[in-house]
Amino acid sequence: MLTSILAAVEPATFHWSPRVAVVMIACNILAFAIAKANIAKPNEGFSMPNAKYYGGMSHASVVAACCLGHVLGIGSIVGLASRGVL
């Protein structure tokens, strides 16, 4: 009984569009701002090539900011898609 109910529930799906890309880019920019403000030593470790484009952050800080941005982005995209905005 429970299995048939769970099988009947379909998650809200969406197709890629430029609006989805804008949401992901905005979330990544927000994540870089959060990382720059909260990482204690953002420029310690291996430096990025052309570090001025990454706010002077190190490789580890950039990877951490990108990971946070993608987590925020997928949460925002799925949430907005389930509400019918995207």
Q: Where exactly are the structural domains of the chain?
A: 16-83
Q: For residue 53, which amino acid is it?
A: Y
Q: Helix or strand or coil: residue 36? A: helix
Q: Which two tokens stand for residue 78?
A: 């799925």
Question: What pLDDT digit, counting tens, does each position of 43-85 carry?
Answer: 777 777 776 777 778 778 888 899 999 999 999 998 888 888 8
- Around Cβ 63, how many Cβ atoms within 10 Å? 13
CA gap 65, 61 in Å, rounded? 6
Q: Helix or strand or coil: residue 58? A: strand
CB-based burial of residue 20 (10 Å sphere; 0-12 exposed, 13-18 middle, 19+ buried)? middle
Question: What pLDDT digit, counting tens, does each position of 5-46 carry?
Answer: 656 666 656 788 899 999 999 999 999 899 888 878 777 777
Q: Which two tokens stand for residue 16?
A: 């890629």
